[in-house]
Amino acid sequence: MDLMQGIAATATSLFAAQFQESYSIAVSKKAMDTQELAAQSMLEMLAQQPAPAKGAYIDTYA
Protein backbone atom coordinates (compact mmCIF):
# COMPACT_ATOMS: atom_id res chain seq x y z
CA MET A 1 0.00 0.00 0.00
CA ASP A 2 2.96 2.32 0.57
CA LEU A 3 3.88 2.12 -3.11
CA MET A 4 0.39 3.26 -4.14
CA GLN A 5 0.56 6.25 -1.80
CA GLY A 6 3.91 7.22 -3.29
CA ILE A 7 2.54 7.01 -6.82
CA ALA A 8 -0.50 9.06 -5.83
CA ALA A 9 1.66 11.67 -4.13
CA THR A 10 3.93 11.90 -7.16
CA ALA A 11 0.99 12.23 -9.53
CA THR A 12 -0.54 14.95 -7.36
CA SER A 13 2.74 16.84 -7.22
CA LEU A 14 3.16 16.56 -10.98
CA PHE A 15 -0.34 17.86 -11.60
CA ALA A 16 0.24 20.78 -9.21
CA ALA A 17 3.49 21.67 -10.97
CA GLN A 18 1.83 21.51 -14.39
CA PHE A 19 -1.06 23.67 -13.17
CA GLN A 20 1.32 26.23 -11.68
CA GLU A 21 3.29 26.39 -14.94
CA SER A 22 0.13 26.82 -17.01
CA TYR A 23 -1.13 29.53 -14.68
CA SER A 24 2.20 31.36 -14.82
CA ILE A 25 2.25 31.24 -18.62
CA ALA A 26 -1.33 32.53 -18.80
CA VAL A 27 -0.56 35.45 -16.49
CA SER A 28 2.58 36.30 -18.46
CA LYS A 29 0.64 36.18 -21.73
CA LYS A 30 -2.01 38.50 -20.33
CA ALA A 31 0.66 40.95 -19.18
CA MET A 32 2.32 40.85 -22.61
CA ASP A 33 -1.02 41.51 -24.33
CA THR A 34 -1.66 44.47 -22.03
CA GLN A 35 1.79 45.90 -22.72
CA GLU A 36 1.28 45.44 -26.46
CA LEU A 37 -1.96 47.43 -26.35
CA ALA A 38 -0.26 50.17 -24.32
CA ALA A 39 2.60 50.34 -26.83
CA GLN A 40 0.19 50.54 -29.75
CA SER A 41 -1.69 53.43 -28.16
CA MET A 42 1.60 55.24 -27.49
CA LEU A 43 2.65 54.77 -31.11
CA GLU A 44 -0.68 56.19 -32.24
CA MET A 45 -0.13 59.24 -30.02
CA LEU A 46 3.36 59.72 -31.46
CA ALA A 47 2.01 59.59 -35.00
CA GLN A 48 -0.40 62.43 -34.20
CA GLN A 49 2.39 64.81 -33.17
CA PRO A 50 3.66 67.06 -35.97
CA ALA A 51 7.29 66.73 -36.95
CA PRO A 52 9.51 69.57 -35.70
CA ALA A 53 10.41 72.19 -38.25
CA LYS A 54 13.78 71.92 -39.94
CA GLY A 55 16.39 73.75 -37.91
CA ALA A 56 14.32 73.62 -34.73
CA TYR A 57 17.15 71.87 -32.90
CA ILE A 58 20.72 73.08 -32.66
CA ASP A 59 23.52 70.54 -32.21
CA THR A 60 25.53 72.02 -29.33
CA TYR A 61 27.87 69.02 -29.05
CA ALA A 62 29.47 69.40 -32.50
pLDDT tens-digit readout, 3-56? 999 999 999 999 999 999 999 999 999 999 999 999 999 988 887 777 666 766
Q: What pTM, to 2 d.p., does this model score?
A: 0.60
Q: Which residue type is seen at 46?
A: L
Q: State the DSSP code for 51.
A: P
b vs e for 18-45, b when ≥16 Cβ sit within 10 Å of the residue's Cβ?
A: eeeeeeeeeeeeeeeeeeeeeeeeeeee
How far, in Å, CA of 50 to CA of 52, rounded?
A: 6
Q: What local confidence, expressed as pLDDT, does residue 14 receive?
A: 96
Query: What is the per-residue pLDDT for 52?
Result: 66
